[in-house]
Amino acid sequence: MKNSVFSNCGMCSVRCPIRVETTDGRVTWIEGNPNIPGMEGSLCARGSAGIALLYDFERPQYPMIRTGPRGSGQFKRVSWDEAFSFIAEKVKDLQSKYGKKTVALVDRGAGLFGEIQRLIVRGMGSPNYFNHDDFCRKNVDLAYQTLLGYGRPEVGYDWTNTNHIVLYGRNAIEALGVREVNNIVKALENGAKLTYIDVRASKTATKATKYLQIRPGTDYALNLALINVILKENLFDRDFVDRFVTGLPELENFIKPYTAEWAEKETGIPAHEIVSLARQLGADKPRVILYPGWFAARYMDAFYFARSVIILNALLGSIEQKGGLILAKSPKEVGAKGLNSLLERIPAPEEKRVEAEEGKGFLYDGAGHILHLFRAIKTGQPYSVKALFVVRYDPFAGITLKDIEEILNGLELLVTIDTNYSATSWYADVILPESTYLERDDIIGMQRGAKPAFVMRRRAVNPIYDTKGRWEIVKGILSAYGAGEYLPFETIEELWNYQLEGTGVKIEDFNKTGQVALCKDAKIYSRDELKFKTPSGKIEILSGKMAERDVPYFLDPITPAKPNTDEGEFRLVFGRMAVHTHVQTHNNKYLNEIVPENELWINSEVAKKLGIKNGDIVEVSSEDFSGKIKAKVTPFIHPEAVFMYRGFENEVPWKTRSYGKGLNEGRLLRGAFDRMAHGSHTGALFENFVRVKKV
């Protein structure tokens, strides 16, 4: 018998709406939800390979407790109750020695369905909740917050109606979300320009109207020059700027020395190209989208770079503008009531997170700074963090072996909740296997946007192995700990009904498309209605929040260090590929078949000098690690950089298809925890040099 449910893909963090078909209780087909504009049946390769994840036997099938030394791979099978009691006893013991705040949880971010795991730490009375954002989008988030008062997830992009898109190393065609890529392609078909800036010609460069190769780490210099030309030549949207932007005189003063000629020397992009781009944007405004980035934890100036992109959008009047950036509307703004929070049922702990205790200078109010968390675990300062829960995140897959060792030395309890055997699980004390997204129901999520909606992920089939849904795992842990009252629901329907109470929406309302929109049409404010969420209600170049927290408004550009390429020294940069997600899909049967290992992009001229030919095996080394990889010799990368796709060389032998294949760039990131970006305290993963030589 055939059946069909609407759900959300779980093969990456985009969570595209999907329709899942089952035949006699087996998943036989997955496609993009045909009811959702921008999806219309389409799915990426990873989304389609969800079936291979579901039926994979090389994933955790029952709870496990470690029996041998960490990293030995020795575990025993236990029942769920044994696992929950083990965790609860250990946490209580550690808390009695080190205080409640000795427990921390780190996840991949709240996203649509992630509120639930935060109940674990809060239920245990600790403030120490962290997510991965320091290594991903936090600079952009903070840049939006300081300028507009909105966070990154609250800003959408009206791709299809735009005249001009500018992407800075945002490899949107490959590091993709299905709706976004479909809409960008539609924009190009409608005649929009795409200016693409990258140190290498990625797949997105091949779709661009103009590709500008930039010297690594100099995008901020480029933007200062764009601002300079736009102000000097009066190319900006005066009406918008007069109404909404404060701090313009200070910006004008700061920007004076940063001419296009100056930026040519920094970026390697000819001054006439910079002036031409500024003039095109001036002509194409206000329907322009300069995208401030997603994976933004790259360089030390990332926060100020992201601010410069948003400032450019503000000068060009593209904010809350058709064909530009569109602000999310809260349920209240569209006349609806939001979901009832599960987290807010629990009193917020009074103690401070590790970094807050270290002093001033922090802009973030959401999750804590992970670099500070790891530092606290390693050093015991400002206080000891001894128990760590890791949920849907694999930090150990992307850092050095030395960092892993130091973190493990500081921890007395490490618990992972994952659908795969992650690199972190391999070292964990307890592995709690979550049911895959096709086998579980999640809490209802709130999709932000100009037309906010509630979203439901429903199971397509029952769990195949002895795994549980996330809310059931959280409930089990809290109950064993003695805090079961914080999640008192017996069934997912009871939980959903609690979330929906008072909203007027019922569970059945999701049957039709899997989503319930909170208003009929997307709401866009006119300039007469528009108000920002900053203290002044305007776009604050001189941000009140930054002033209050002692963070300078402007950063003088810093010329990046130059590697000695004649000696085989390069800046290491990396990114995502279309058929894999970060570190989680390389063992997927289908996707592993398509791309089993990575290569090292290296510039042809430089490779020639070093005697490296296409396909040669090269050794890549940092101060404390070296590994081998195949060279891809190409003219399409800046001579100072080498590039590889991330997430390869899995070290967990249980995943036999991907074990040892390719090279893991994370192991080469020596000192990555010691570099925190200016103003934002995030990682700066591309501020890192390696040596390359032919084997």
Ligand X SMILES: Nc1nc2c(c(=O)[nH]1)N[C@H]1C(S)=C(S)[C@@H](COP(=O)(O)OP(=O)(O)OC[C@H]3O[C@@H](n4cnc5c(=O)[nH]c(N)nc54)[C@H](O)[C@@H]3O)O[C@H]1N2
Residues that bind ligand X (CB under 6 A): 10, 12-13, 108, 132, 135-136, 168-171, 175-176, 197-200, 202, 214, 216-217, 219, 294-295, 298, 391-394, 397-398, 417-420, 422, 434, 437, 573-576, 578, 580-584, 643, 646, 665-666, 669, 685-686
Q: Tell me: does residue 15 bind ligand SF4 (CB under 6 A).
A: yes
Pseudo-torsion of CA 204, 208, 213, 214, nearest 10°? Answer: -80
**Cα gap 85→635, rounded to integer Å:** 58
Rg over alpha carbons for the chain, rounded to the nearest Å, is 25
Is 3 in a helix, a strand, or coil? Answer: strand
**Cα gap 538→196, rounded to integer Å:** 30
235 or 444: CB nearest ligand SF4: 444
At its nearest, how many Å lie between ligand X and the CB of residue 150? 19
268, amino acid identity? G
397, amino acid identity? A
**Sole window of 7-15, 372-380, 502-510, 594-602 interacting with ligand SF4 (rule: CB under 6 A):** 7-15
Token pair in block for residue 433: 């296997």
**Cα gap 285→303, rounded to integer Å:** 24
Q: Which does 642 bind (CB under 5 to 8 A by kind): ligand SF4, ligand X, Mo ion, none?
A: none
Q: Tell me: does residue 14 bind Mo ion (CB under 5 A).
A: no
288 or 591: CB nearest ligand SF4: 591
At its nearest, how many Å lie between Mo ion and the CB of residue 341? 25
* Cis status, amide bond into 286, omega within 30 of 0: yes
Q: Tell me: does residue 120 bind Mo ion (CB under 5 A).
A: no
Q: Which of residues 389-418 bind ligand SF4 (CB under 6 A)?
A: none
Among 11, 105, 121, 136, binds Mo ion (CB under 5 A): 136
Q: Which does 16 bind (CB under 5 to 8 A by kind): Mo ion, ligand SF4, ligand X, none?
A: ligand SF4
**Cα gap 351→345, rounded to integer Å:** 18
Q: Which does 15 bind (CB under 5 to 8 A by kind): Mo ion, ligand SF4, ligand X, none?
A: ligand SF4
At its nearest, how many Å lie between ligand X and the CB of residue 112? 12
> Which region, left, alpha or beta, applies to residue 618 given φ > 0 means left and ψ of -120 to 50 means alpha?
beta
- The separation between CA 619 and the C-alpha centre of its own chain, rounded to angstroms, equals 30
User: What is the number of the residue whose Cβ is closest to ligand SF4?
Assistant: 47
At its nearest, how many Å lie between ligand SF4 and the CB of residue 78? 32
44 or 453: CB nearest ligand SF4: 44
Q: How many CB atoms lie within 10 A of CB 135?
A: 22
Total residues belonging to the chain: 695
30 or 411: CB nearest ligand SF4: 30
Q: Is 248 exposed, middle or buried (0-12, 13-18, 19+ CB in 10 A)?
A: middle
Cβ(416)–Cβ(425) below 8 Å: yes
Q: Which does 303 bind (CB under 5 to 8 A by kind): Mo ion, ligand X, ligand SF4, none?
A: none
Q: Tell me: does residue 176 bind ligand SF4 (CB under 6 A).
A: yes
**Sole window of 195-203, 292-300, 591-599, 673-681 interacting with Mo ion (rule: CB under 5 A):** 292-300
At its nearest, how many Å lie between Mo ion and the CB of residue 13? 7
Q: Which does 644 bind (CB under 5 to 8 A by kind): Mo ion, ligand X, ligand SF4, none?
A: none
Q: Which does 686 bind (CB under 5 to 8 A by kind): ligand X, Mo ion, ligand SF4, none?
A: ligand X
Q: Tell me: does residue 577 bind ligand SF4 (CB under 6 A).
A: no
At its nearest, how many Å lie between ligand X and the CB of residue 365? 20
14 or 399: CB nearest ligand SF4: 14
At its nearest, how many Å lie between ligand X and the CB of residue 253? 27
Q: Which does 9 bind (CB under 5 to 8 A by kind): ligand X, ligand SF4, Mo ion, none?
A: ligand SF4
Which H or E run contains 594?
helix 589-594
At its nearest, how many Å lie between ligand SF4 and the CB of residue 593? 17
39 or 197: CB nearest ligand SF4: 39
Q: Tell me: does residue 178 bind ligand SF4 (CB under 6 A).
A: yes
Which residues are bridge partners to 47 per DSSP? none
**Cα gap 436→47, rounded to integer Å:** 13
CA proximity to 554, closest of 303, 304, 313 = 304
**Cα gap 378→392, rounded to integer Å:** 22
**φ and ψ at 625, to 5 degrees?**
-155, 145
Q: Which does 456 bind (CB under 5 to 8 A by kind): ligand X, ligand SF4, Mo ion, none?
A: none
**Cα gap 420→371, rounded to integer Å:** 24
At its nearest, how many Å lie between Mo ion and the CB of residue 393? 11
At its nearest, how many Å lie between ligand SF4 and the CB of residue 439? 16
163 or 182: CB nearest ligand SF4: 182
Q: Which does 34 bind (CB under 5 to 8 A by kind): ligand SF4, ligand X, Mo ion, none?
A: none
**Cα gap 379→409, rounded to integer Å:** 10
Buried b (16+ CB within 10 A) or exposed e, 597-606: bbbbbbbbeb
At its nearest, how many Å lie between ligand X and the CB of residue 529? 33
**Cα gap 128→119, rounded to integer Å:** 11
Q: What DSSP assignment string belongs to 168-230?
A: ES--TTTS--HHHHHHHHHHHHTT-EEEEEESB--TTGGG-SEEEE--TT-HHHHHHHHHHHH
Which residues are bridge partners to 565 per DSSP? none
Is 28 in a helix, a strand, or coil? Answer: strand
**Cα gap 227→261, rounded to integer Å:** 13
198 or 284: CB nearest ligand X: 198
185 or 578: CB nearest ligand X: 578
Contact residues toward ligand SF4 (CB under 6 A) are 9, 11-12, 14-16, 43-44, 46-47, 176-178
Give the binding site for Mo ion (CB under 5 A): 136, 295
